[in-house]
Amino acid sequence: MKKTTLILIIGLISSNLISQEIEFAYEFKKVKSNYSGLDSLILYKNGTYLRKKLYHFHGIESYNEKGQWKIIGDSLFLNLKSIKTFPESNNEWNDFERTDKFLIKRKKIFPVFHGILNRKKKLKSKNVG
């Protein structure tokens, strides 16, 4: 009985240390006859994020990003720290520095490239929780 209780307590403590609480989640899907794309973004409460992109045009191209995020006014800034590309990277994270900006409007975010707002590629908020 003591052994079972000890295993249960260790399991609960480790799950709290390992798991991260999600603050926001966004998703963009586009499917056409010869093209499909998926872009998902998860913002965690501890200030980190994970972004996954998957595109299928002539071949499958995919990459994952992780880094830090912050909101200033109506803008979301993603400070990319590392990237993993498929199939080139052999499952290894590579250091990479870049900052992406998004404009926040209600439950959607719009990417901003070089000061130009791209309204066609908006990411919609997903229901989390």
Task: Give CB contacts under 8 A, 24+ apart, made by 59-67.
Answer: 60/86, 61/86, 62/86, 65/96, 66/93
Rounded Cα distance between 50 and 77, Å, is 13
Asked whether the CA dihedral 127, 54, 15, 93 is positive or negative, the reply is negative
Burial label, 112 (beta-carbon count in 10 A; 0-12, 13-18, 19+): middle
What confidence score (pLDDT) does residue 106 get? Answer: 83
Summarize pLDDT for 90-119 with one digit per residue, the tens: 778 888 898 989 888 888 888 887 666 656
Q: What is the pTM of this model?
A: 0.70
| Burial bucket for residue 62 (CB in 10 Å: 0-12, 13-18, 19+) | middle
Architecture of domain 21-125: Beta Barrel (2.40)
- Where residue 81 falls among pLDDT bands split at 50, 70, 90? very high
Structure confidence at residue 13 (pLDDT): 47
pLDDT for 44-65, tens place per residue? 999 999 999 887 777 777 889 9
